[in-house]
Structure 1
Amino acid sequence: MNTRLTRTLASATFALATLCGLAFVGTGVTHLLDHGAVCVQTGFWTNAPLADPLPIGSGVQASASAARLCRSSPSVGQRAAELGSELPWLLFGTLALLFFSQLLKAVLEQGPFTESVSRRLSALGWFVTAGTLLTGLVAGWSQSWLVGSMAPIVGSGPTLTGPLVLVLGGLAAVIMGKIMREGVRMREDLEGTI
C-alpha cells in the first residue's frame, strides 16, 4: 500500500471539503446580503413558438430564447428558493468529502482490509445514495417553486435535479463495503484456525 499517496489524498480531500464548506457559507451570506435580481432557468418554453406574450407574473422579465425568468425585486421566499437550488449541493459535497476523508484516515491508521474501513465505506455509500436523492429533490423543488412563483401557469411540480448517476456509485460503495466486511471476517476466521 502506498501510504504517501493515501496521506496526500486524505489531505487533499479534507482541503476540498473545507473549501466546499467555505463556499457554502459564502454563498449563503452573499445571497442574504444581495438585493439584486433573482433568476431561474426553465425548460418549459425551450421549443415553443412564442407568438403570444409569455404567461408570467407582474414584475418578471423573461427571455424566451434562453427560457430564463428574472425578478428584480424578489420576495423573501423567492430569494430562499434561489438558495435552495444551490446550497444543498454545496452542503452535500462538503459532507461527502468529509466522509471520504475519514475513510482515507481509517485506511492510513488501520490498513485497508479492516472492519472499520468496511463500515466507513458502507456509510459513505449510503450517504451518497440517500444524499443525492434528497439533495436533488430539495434543489428540484426549490427551482420548481421559484419558476411557479414567477410564471404561475408553468407549475411543473417537484423534480429531481443534479447528477443522479451518483446513486449508482453510492450503491457500489455499499456493496463493496459489505464484500470487504465478509472478507475481513473470513480472514479473522482463517487466522483463528491456524
Structure 2
Amino acid sequence: MTTRLTKVLASVSFGLAMLTGLTFAGTAVTHMSDDGSVCVETGFWANASLKDGLPLGDGVDASSSAARLCQEAPSIGQRAADLGGQLPWLLLSTLALLHFARLLNSVLEQGPFTDTVARKLTALGWLIAVGTPVAGFVVGWSHSWLVGSMAPIVGSGPTVSGPLVLILAGLAAVIMGKIMREGVRMREDLEGTI
C-alpha cells in the first residue's frame, strides 16, 4: 500500500512539475510576444489625489483608486520586469517538484533510509531554503523597477516578497537529510560490526 502511494505521489509530482514547466515556458513566450499594455499596482500613492499629477512616463495611465499604473506601449525591459513578477515562483516550483519526484523514485528503488535519499532530501531542502529568498528578491526588484520606470518619483528600493516561511521548511528538510545521513552511517557501522 505504501509503495503504491509513493508511486502515485512520484507520478503526480512529476506531472505537476511538467505542467508548471510548460506554464513557465508558455508564460514567457506569450508575454514577451504580446503587444498589450503592462500594468503594475503600487500602494505608494493609493490615497493621493491625482489632480496635481504625478511625474509619469509617456504613455502611462494612472488610477489613484486602484493605485495602478499602466504603460500602453511598454519597452522590452518593462515587459521583462513584468514577467519577473511571475516567472521566479513558477521556476522554483518546477525545480522543487522535479527534485521531489526524483527523491520519491529513489525511495522506491533503494528504500527510504539510504544515503542517496538523505542526499536528495538535503539538496531539496537547500533548493527551497535558498531559492525562496532569491525568487522573492527577483519578484520584489522587478516590481520596484517596473513602478520606477513608469513613475520615477514613486519607485522604491527592491524588496523581498512571497511566502518566506518556506525558508523554514527548506531548512527543516536540510536538517532531516543530515539526520537521515547520520542514521544511515550508524546502521552501516552496526552491520559491519555484526
| TM category, shorter | over 0.9
Measured in 1, the distance between the counterparts of 2:45 and 2:96 equals: 35
Could you tell which deviates more after superposition, 154-163 or 102-111?
A: 154-163
What amino acid sits opposite 2:37 in the alignment? A
Supply the AA of the counterpart residue of 1:64: S
Which residue is equivalent to 2:58? 58
Q: Which moved more, 1:29-38 or 1:5-14?
A: 29-38
- Structure 2: distance between partners of 1:187 and 1:110: 15
> Quick one: distance in 2 between partners of 1:64 and 1:166?
34
Is the partner of 2:126 in helix, strand or coil?
helix
Residue 44 of structure 1 corresponds to 44
1:81 corresponding residue in structure 2: 81
Instruction: Determine the C-alpha separation between the residues in 2 that align with 1:149 and 1:157.
Output: 12
CA separation in 2, counterparts of 1:129 and 1:4? 30
Cα deviations by residue, 1:113-164 (Å, 9 ceiling, x for unpaired)? 1100000000000011111111111111111100000110122111111111
> How far is the alpha carbon of 1:187 from its aligned partner?
1.1
Counterpart in 1 of 2:175? Answer: 175
Q: Deviations over 1:40-99 (max 9, x none)?
A: 1112123x3426433422321112122111011111111111111111111111111111
Unaligned runs of 5+ in 2: none
Q: How much identity, in percent, do the aligned residues show?
A: 69
- Structure 1 residue identity aligned to 2:35: H
Unaligned runs of 5+ in 1: none
The corresponding residue for 1:92 is 92
The structure 1 segments of at least 4 consecutive aligned residues displaced by more than 3 Å after TM superposition are none
1:117-132 correspondence to structure 2 within 5 Å: 117-132=117-132
The alignment's C-alpha RMSD in Å is: 1.3
Secondary structure of residue in 1 paired with 2:62: strand
Instruction: Give distance in 1, aligned partners of 2:157 and 2:29.
Output: 28
- C-alpha distance in 2, partners of 1:171/1:72? 43
Farther off after superposition, 107-116 or 53-62: 53-62
| Residue number in structure 1 paired with 2:15 | 15
TM normalised by structure 1 equals 0.95
| Contact map agreement 2:48 2:64 (CA 8 A) in 1 | no
Looking at structure 2, the residues matched to 174 and 59 of structure 1 have their Cα atoms a distance apart, in angstroms, of 49
Q: Which residue of 1 aligns with 2:115?
A: 115
C-alpha separation in 2, matches of 1:92 and 1:68: 27
Partner SS, residue 181 of structure 1: helix
Amino acid corresponding to residue 76 of structure 2 in structure 1: V
**Which residue of 1 is the match for residue 25 of structure 2?**
25
